[in-house]
Amino acid sequence: MKTHARQFNESARHYTADLHHRELIQKALAGYYARRDEFKSRFQSWPAARDLAADIKREAINHLDRYLDEFVSRLEARGTKVFWAPGAKEARDYIIGVAQQHKVRSVIKSKSMTAEEIHLNEALKQNGFEVVESDLGEYIVQLRREPPYHLVFPAMHLTRRQISDLFHDRLGSEPTNDPEDLTMIARRVMRRKYCEADMGISGANFAIAETGMISITENEGNARLTTSLPKVHVALVGIEKVLPKLSDLALFLPMLATAGAGQSITCYNTLYGGPRQPGEPDGPEEFHVVLLDNRRTELLADAEQRDALHCIRCGACLNVCPVFKNVGGHSYGTTYQGPIGSVITPHLRGLQDWKHLSQASSLCGACTEACPVKINLHHHLLHNRRNAVRVYPAPLDNLLQTTFVFVMCRPGLYQLAARLGRLAQPLQRLIRGTVLDPLRAWTKTRSFPALAEKSFRDRWRERKTP
């Protein structure tokens, strides 16, 4: 079996050479950058808003037990059934149990990365339930039987032509080059599904402790229909989604929209506080909230990286990451792509299997700068590298590093090394990039800078004593 690291390397090599892919991603992101900057500039102070957002999430995460308790007791007081799921299996089993109990035939689902994380669709299908993704991008990747490419834009790697061909093959629609026509094809299919579905499954963007509500952010209206029409609604919520107060949304809703999608506000920001209440005309008879741990508490226990749980899954760090833009979302092989995925996946799925993601970074810090809740992303990649070698030390790297420090601390030795390097350079040129080259890891795809014929030190000496 291929290791995750090998799979990543092979896929990354493929995508970085795919110029068509690069052009598509760059074009999609160019519009995002322009709109994001426009809406950021409308804030009276984006940096102060970030500080405040980080403080609020910090307060929530560092008192998570108290806020979760408050959230759950308020939800339960109004007839919501809450299930605490320590792991993925418990969450899946509970949701399948609810579906069986209600003799559900078809399930409609709105976008949820947490559901991707626990592979909910596969489990439901294995148990005989039909599951349809209602978000357009998610529906497209579901028809293609592939995972979402990006946390927020699941189908950003596809052209309208590819989507038209897909719809033609799978739905029998007429080929078209118009994104509006394609959207309307999906709309018509989905309308039937909403009306037939017995159960709606959603995620949640925020869990409000003060009032016992979940908040769902979306543009299409698919989550609203998913949570309005079927008789059962199940929301799968990671325990880190908690916000202390209802008024916190006044900050988080515009920040999520601006950082995540380059919008001033997303089209629908909806709060759900229970099943249909007495006197209300519609809504589900039952509302279940599944609170998922699935090793989030292990990340919580790592105080140094605890702020990674502040993440609101906006995807801003992916959009600015030079590695993501070149290797593409599918190379990661993770539920959460990009810098945030590289930070949290080792915690959620094992450090040694996923430590290679920490190396897939230029440490440029663009992610940290883009993060609306100020997660120290690029430093956490370094923390993961350090933690990985603590368990499995890398003796060769250590030797190189020790030698480097030894030489750099001794000017005479450094000069000698530079002279030797200058002598060895012509020899290295003969074998550059071949298996004999000791610098092959670098030189097989890059040129190696030549050492100057005279060092700065030599020239300085010449200038002073002519």
Show contacts with other proteins in window 308-337 (CB under 8 A).
none
Site for other proteins in 231-260 (CB under 8 A): 239, 246-247, 249-251, 253-254
- Rounded to a whole number of angstroms, the minimum distance from the CB of residue 346 to other proteins is 17
**DSSP conformation class of 279:** T
Per DSSP, the residues of 267-288 read: SEEEEE-SSPPTT-S-S-SEEE
Q: Exactly one of 58, 144, 385, 422 binds other proteins (CB under 8 A); which one?
A: 58
Nearer to other proteins, 55 or 462 (CB): 55
Residues 180-209 that bind other proteins (CB under 8 A): 180, 182-184, 187, 190-191, 195
At 158, give phi and psi (nearest 5°).
-110, 145
Count of other CB atoms within 10 angstroms of residue 151: 25
User: Hey, which residues between 113 and 142 contact other proteins (CB under 8 A)?
Assistant: 134-137, 140
| H or E element at residue 66 | helix 64-77
Q: Map residue 270 onto helix, strand or coil.
A: strand
Residue choice 274, 315, 339, 341 for contact with other proteins (CB under 8 A): 274
Helix, coil or strand: residue 221 = coil
Question: Is 73 a residue that touches other proteins (CB under 8 A)?
Answer: no
Residue (310 or 356) nearer to other proteins, CB: 310
Size of interface with other proteins, in residues (CB under 8 A): 108
Tokens of 57: 């999430």
Select from 12, 28, 417, 431 the one that contacts other proteins (CB under 8 A): 28
Nearer to other proteins, 8 or 32 (CB): 32
Give CA separation, 319 vs 19, 204, 245, 338, 346, in Å. Answer: 18, 22, 29, 8, 21
Position 159 contacts other proteins (CB under 8 A): yes
The residue (of 339 and 356) whose beta carbon lies closer to other proteins is 339
Query: Which whole-number Å values give the CA distances from 269 to 3, 223, 264, in the listed order?
Result: 41, 10, 12
What type of residue sits at position 183? T
Nearest CA-CA partner of 75 in 234, 274, 309, 320: 274
Q: Which residues of 43-80 are buried (b: 16+ CB within 10 A; e: fewer)?
A: eeebeebbebbbebbbbbbeebeebbebbbebbeeeeb
Under the criterion CB under 8 A, does residue 42 sit at the interface with other proteins? yes
Distance of alpha carbon 36 from alpha carbon 272, whole angstroms: 28
Strand pairing class (213-218; 206-208): antiparallel
Binding residue for other proteins, selected from 23, 37, 55, 285, defined by CB under 8 A: 55
Verify binding: residue 363, other proteins, rule CB under 8 A.
no
Q: Is 271 in the site for other proteins (CB under 8 A)?
A: yes
Residues 400-439 contacting other proteins, CB under 8 A: none
Which of positions 79-118 make contact with other proteins (CB under 8 A)? 83-86, 90
Q: Does 307 bind other proteins (CB under 8 A)?
A: yes
At its nearest, how many Å lie between other proteins and the CB of residue 318? Answer: 14
Please tell me whether residue 290 binds other proteins under the rule CB under 8 A: no
**CB under 8 A: which stretch of 45-53, 345-353, 359-367, 415-423 binds other proteins?**
45-53
